[in-house]
A = this chain, B = another copy of it.
Amino acid sequence: MEYRFADRINNLKPSAIREILKNNDPNVIPLAAGNPAVESFPIEEMREIANHIFDTKAGEAFQYGITEGYTPLREQLKARLRDRFGMNGENDDLLIVSGAQQAIDLATKVLCNEGDVMISENPAFIGALNTFRSYGVILKGVNVEEDGMNIEELEKALKENKNVKMIYTIPSFQNPLGTCTSLEKRKAIYDLCVKYGVIILEDNPYGELRFDGEDIPTIKSMDTEGIVIYCGSMSKVMSAGIRIGFVLAPKAIAAKMTVGKQASDVHTNLFFQMLVSEYMEKYDYDGHIESIRKLYKHKSGLMLSAIRETFPKEVKYTVPEGGLFLWCTLPDGADMLGFVQYCKEKGVSVVPGVAFNVEENTPSQCFRLNYSTPSDEKVVEGTKILGKALQEYLSR
């Protein structure tokens, strides 16, 4: 039978990064990955809590739960966002989702009709871009500079496009750039969105992972008008595999997202919602995050040293103050896809920048590096292989 697929899915290709992850050649050092370090997961504590749940609450943990999520965890997260990050949340509701990816999916599901316009940072997280594409929205990219989106470009995009429903941004330790949007630009983005009546989808999976510099307030913390949907994740703090994230959104939007989630997966794995809740209650959650920051400061330092030692001068790179990534730019005219293939042959994988472009098939002189996934030794070894490959490739 010849299958007639929906239009939305015909525009969608498998994630280049997921495909790289899947075809995992053990001889290639995966600087292309985006996984958190396994050492950053509190595995022994999770085991203790798991056994405690089996002892005391198994009946609840293994039964159906409510779509909004495990009530104690929702309250804990809301209190933490309020007390630590100034996200008041009085007019908001917090839902537990199956990873922040689902928050992005639900936000688009409830807000965007096919043909509506979404504005995204360019380059941007490929997983989010694919979700937007899966709803048939028209994506408009706004270029990201060292300190966040180009504000003139953003205003132009808001002015020129009708039916702009949402702006997508990762203001802290952006994926793929590794850089932060400045406080000034966060304010400017917020003000523009108030002016044009546009929702901001603030994706903040790495916000807690700052290891240098000063914290910058989230856009959500400025949200007096109820226009910001804030996505958080447990993937980089507790575990990626458990698929637990959360979303803080204006009550009317959260209610629609709940109905959307009901139709998607009913609710998120309840056992691990309870486990995260008990961890936050009984263990040193902040101390644990502090230890992850130290770990990534160390690992990013190893990568930066090897870069300084081996990269040709004409290759530019960002110096992250947190998160998992840094971003390298080759001189104009370099054949990036050829170079990525060349790297793989030499034993190291990187993600070509083109994968993160809002407009597909536009060229990119960049690639993304990750320092959280490989061991310390492999971070150094992989970066040096890459440096050597760059030297050879650029002197051709």
Quote the shortest CB–CB distance from A381 to chain B (angstroms).
Answer: 20
Question: Would you list which residues of chain A between 149 and 179 have a CB under 8 Å from chain B?
Answer: 165
Question: Do A263 and B18 touch across chains, with their CB atoms under 8 A apart?
Answer: no
- With a CB–CB cut-off of 8 A, which chain B residues contact A259? 9, 12-14, 130
A38: CB under 8 A from chain B? yes
Quote the shortest CB–CB distance from A188 to chain B (angstroms).
Answer: 18
- With a CB–CB cut-off of 8 A, which chain B residues contact A241? 60-65, 267, 269-271
Given A14-B259, A270-B241, are A265 and B64 neighbors across the interface (CB < 8 Å)?
A: no
- With a CB–CB cut-off of 8 A, which chain B residues contact A9? 109-110, 256, 259-260
- Give the CA-CA distance A99 to B268 in the complex, in Å: 10
Question: Do A63 and B240 touch across chains, with their CB atoms under 8 A apart?
Answer: yes
A332: CB under 8 A from chain B? no
Quote the shortest CB–CB distance from A69 to chain B (angstroms).
Answer: 12
Question: Do B269 and A101 touch across chains, with their CB atoms under 8 A apart?
Answer: no
How would residues 1 to 14 of chain A score, 1 for a CB under 8 Å from any chain B CB and 0 otherwise? Answer: 10111111100111
Query: What is the number of residues of chain A that contact chain B, defined by CB distance less than 8 Å?
Result: 82
Quote the shortest CB–CB distance from A98 to chain B (angstroms).
Answer: 4
Stretch at the interface among A46-54, A75-83, A293-301, A358-366: A46-54
- With a CB–CB cut-off of 8 A, which chain B residues contact A267? 241, 243
A105: CB under 8 A from chain B? yes
Q: Which of B4, B65, B116, B252 sits near A165, CB closer than 8 Å? A: B4
Q: Tell which of A5, A226, A270 has the most Cβ of chain B within 10 Å.
A: A5
Question: Would you list which residues of chain A between 1 and 33 have a CB under 8 Å from chain B?
Answer: 1, 3-9, 12-15, 18, 21-22
Given A3-B250, A266-B243, are A260 and B12 neighbors across the interface (CB < 8 Å)?
A: yes
How would residues 286 to 311 of chain A score, 1 for a CB under 8 Å from any chain B CB and 0 otherwise? Answer: 00000000000000000000000000
By beta carbon, the residue of chain B nearest A242 is: B269
Question: Do A243 and B263 touch across chains, with their CB atoms under 8 A apart?
Answer: no
A342: CB under 8 A from chain B? no
A355: CB under 8 A from chain B? no
A377: CB under 8 A from chain B? no
Q: Which of B112, B239, B242 sits near A6, CB closer than 8 Å? A: B112
- With a CB–CB cut-off of 8 A, which chain B residues contact A63? 35-36, 38, 239-241
Given A262-B130, A265-B101, are A38 and B59 neighbors across the interface (CB < 8 Å)?
A: yes
Given A250-B3, A269-B243, are A21 and B66 neighbors across the interface (CB < 8 Å)?
A: yes
- With a CB–CB cut-off of 8 A, which chain B residues contact A113? 6-8
A134: CB under 8 A from chain B? yes
By beta carbon, the residue of chain B nearest A194 is: B1
- Give the CA-CA distance A253 to B35 in the complex, in Å: 28
A334: CB under 8 A from chain B? no
- Give the CA-CA distance A260 to B131 in the complex, in Å: 8
- With a CB–CB cut-off of 8 A, which chain B residues contact A258? 14
Interface positions of A (Cβ within 8 A of B): 1, 3-9, 12-15, 18, 21-22, 35-36, 38, 41, 43, 46-47, 50-51, 54, 58-67, 98-99, 101-102, 105, 109-114, 116, 127, 130-131, 133-134, 165, 197, 199, 225-227, 235, 239-243, 250, 252-253, 256, 258-260, 262-272
List 4 tightest A-B contacts by C-beta distance, closest first: A62-B239, A241-B270, A47-B54, A98-B265
